[in-house]
Amino acid sequence: MAQDTIKEELAQSLKGRDFLALADYSPEEVRYLIDLAIDLKKKQKAGETYHPLKGKTLGMIFEKSSTRTRVSFEVGMYQLGGHALFLSRNDLQIGRGETIWDTGQTMSRYLDGIMIRTFAHRTVIDLARAATIPVINGLTDRSHPCQALADYQTVLEHKGRLEGLKIAYIGDGNNMVHSLLMGAAKLGMHMSVATPEGYEPDEQIIQSTNETAAETGSKIHVCRDPKEAIEGADIVYTDVWASMGFEEEQKERELAFANYQVNDELIKYAKKDYLFMHCLPAHRGEEVSESVIDGNNSIIFDQAENRLHAQKAIMAAIM
């Protein structure tokens, strides 16, 4: 089958879909979105006008605050020819008890898509079931698929390939690692995760990731020892020890993660040409030393930029 025909079939398969988790997309669809993001980035850098969403509006529901998510989605919609509405919990009746069902049904009559950044993953699922327009998961306590898509776009741009590369994640088994795990499995990458006892990734997500990995040839490994996880890694990734909503556990987590800082000593076990990644915001001197996050191997701001392009690809594809 001709490559153009395959791309057209993939494009058709994405129209009108929700983007809630990478697990919902085939390996081919995930790679299509990454390639589309790179193409849209080239268009933007070249100053080309591309307005597939002209006259369309995205409603952005924020129950969790954000820098990168808000700015990248709002700018992305503008660059695609559309318009974005920022809606905090206090701007909507859900802050006063209206059901997510009624909210989703009503907003579907006004908008062409909804992005929501919230706490409970159940909220996103219920909103998608209620809405008759595409819903995008901008982050939940369970997953962060937009960030993971942008991350793997960034790796591809720097390494020229994804299959067979090893990514090591050091730290909390949170929403970020959940999406990275599934993304790695979908893209034929290997991933090792090191967490302290009691902070492991969700067991169901590990199981589903291993099932996907068995089909793509990925290898997934979860352990306690950061040195074991980072050995021979092409990419080293970390995140804050206390994500939003867990701030009251900060002191307790500082003790638990004391030996999990990504620093000059630990990074020696990775490949010399490793890439350092962090989804930001970072607590410099806590989960990562300043020498690493500001070092020559750090690509954290390329990641941040690619949130714009990856999310443009998602919106252009499904809206």
| Residues with active-site annotation | 117, 144, 147, 239, 279, 307
Q: Is 244 annotated as a binding residue?
A: yes
Q: Is 66 annotated as a binding residue?
A: yes
Q: Is 280 annotated as a binding residue?
A: yes
Order across the sheet with 57-62: list the strands: 83-88, 57-62, 113-117, 135-139
Contact between 188 and 162 (Cβ < 8 Å): yes
Q: Is 196 annotated as a binding residue?
A: no
Q: Residue holding tokens 């905090």? A: 88
Q: Is 243 annotated as a binding residue?
A: yes
Q: Is 87 annotated as a binding residue?
A: no
Q: Is 107 annotated as a binding residue?
A: no
Q: Is 93 annotated as a binding residue?
A: yes
Residue list, annotated binding site = 66-69, 93, 117, 144-147, 175, 239, 243-244, 279-280, 307
Residue list, annotated binding site for carbamoyl phosphate = 66-69, 93, 117, 144-147, 279-280, 307
Residue list, annotated binding site for L-ornithine = 175, 239, 243-244
